[in-house]
Chains A and B, each alone.
Chain A
């Protein structure tokens, strides 16, 4: 390096550089372009430049779009890959949203799938929409108006029994279950009002239970069983329904007239037998006869008392009706999806279900595919970055 020292190198480079003609208007052109609007300025060459490490913040949204377009033109493969990833992410998001919003059938009625026309003698039940089925007095014909939506309600559809058909008024056992949904925080108030309702209609509260914490349904709930006179059952039911939004209603009526009359007949017959045995007992002369007749009298008396007890139970059951009310905080559960009734409707539903199943399948496949594509994109971008770093390192 004796011949090519630093001074000679500088002289050589200066000599070679001086051979290049300097553009006469170079600085003026740069100043002119620098003072031009942002859109006329050239796009950046990427993140490699030291000047790109910070932004002046003065660029407009249009400038960003132009810069993006310019970058996409320079890197078409990466632009297409980015678009593909965006489309897949959007598809995945839409699929997740569709799945989250898909309704799931929830059964709310006590007997949702029971055939509406299946009789269970002596009780008859049927399902009619609540909003078009005003609480008819027991024994009246049910409202047969077409359904207009609402909570499924099971109401009695038994025809009225003719009073005195068997020589005395009909004996009917009546009961009902009511599901109420109240707003959040109103559970305690509603339970108190239900207790007052029983007293107001001449009844009493048979049982009551309140669950303050989230129950099985995920919200605080409570249940109360009211015993009210049969004559006030309808009024009590309406009063209870007014306390919240009815989510389900089931009423049941059981005709126990025949059983009641049978008990009365058997008691009457036993009383006649007892009277005859008493006559025989009065005519008995020996101790053996007296003891034998007395044993028969004791047996008859026991049967009479047993039957009279059953009769009193029936009297009680037909005098007071039972209304079980379940109160839940929050929104009522969704209505059950009615089954299509005709073949065409069923076919349409099958078709849409199949289509949705196909979409779900595509979305289900899109998840792993998207993951694989993301991995691939990350690998490509990482490899490209490393390659560029390697190139820069060797520059």
Chain B
């Protein structure tokens, strides 16, 4: 039963997990490795899921820990390839049918958002990504990062304040608000 639930979530949650890792790490290749390691580890230790009430925050915790591992031990000691920078693969090739002007505008928005996220410390970046991209509740975020719910709340507040104070992001929101709303829709 647990294996079936896990397998279903792995199938369904791969895209969300991969993009969550992308937002945290800012690098597609690192995110791919981190998610792969996390999913393999989750599958290997699937027996420990029997006592877990909800699989989703548990799996996000595995993904986040894998991202932490990348950030802590591997990324600082590795020469980053010039062609595999944080914003390498930003243009979405699946979006070939969209208007080129709109595609360029979206790419600019994505770069700005990613740059603003990378300027946040990891302790704030992870909860804000989990909250506003992965759509986890504060309680689930607390489970995922192993902190108290109050800590998550204060970190989310601080992250929102810093993002609001980010001049590039503020300018982007002011200029491309309509585009964002359209893209959000």
Contacts and interface: CB of A to CB of B under 8 A. Distances in A.
Interface of A: 1, 3-4, 6-23, 26-27, 29-30, 33-34, 41-42, 44-46, 48-57, 391-392, 394-395
A4 B129 CA distance: 15
A16 B46 CA distance: 32
Contacts of B180: 8, 11-12, 15
A19 B106 contact: yes
Contacts of B89: 19-21
B163 interface: yes
A6 B66 contact: no
Classify chain B: how many residues form its interface, as a range: 35 or more
**4 residue pairs, one from A and one from B, having the closest CB atoms:** A11-B184, A54-B48, A17-B19, A16-B113
Contacts of A54: 45, 47-48
Contacts of A4: 160, 163-164, 169-170, 173
Nearest to A22: B15
A260 B91 CA distance: 131
A331 to B, nearest CB: 55
Given A17-B23, A41-B44, A7 B126 contact: no
A29 B48 CA distance: 23
Which among A8, A16, A23, A57 has the greatest number of chain B C-beta atoms within 10 A? A16
Nearest to B135: A10
Interface in B126-185: 126, 128-129, 132-133, 135, 146, 160-161, 163-164, 169-170, 173-174, 177, 180-181, 183-184
B93 A21 contact: yes
B19 A395 contact: no
Task: Describe B's contact surface by its main secondary structure.
Answer: helix
Nearest to B48: A54
Contact of A16 (B40, B45, B109): B109
Given A50-B61, A50-B62, A17 B48 contact: no
Contacts, number: 169
Contacts of A6: 132
B14 A395 contact: no
Contacts of B15: 22
A226 B98 CA distance: 122
Given A15-B106, A23-B32, A52-B45, A9 B160 contact: yes
A372 B106 CA distance: 62
Given A4-B163, A50-B58, A50-B61, A34 B43 contact: yes
B30 to A, nearest CB: 11
A51 B41 contact: yes
Interface string B85-110: 00001111110000000000011011
B184 A15 contact: yes
A10 B180 CA distance: 10
Contacts of B32: 23, 26
Contacts of A1: 160-161, 164
B10 interface: yes
Interface in B49-105: 58, 61-62, 65-66, 68-69, 71-73, 89-94
Given A10-B135, A19-B114, 17 more contacts: A4-B169, A10-B133, A11-B184, A12-B180, A15-B110, A15-B184, A16-B23, A16-B110, A17-B22, A19-B89, A21-B93, A45-B73, A48-B65, A48-B68, A48-B69, A53-B48, A391-B72
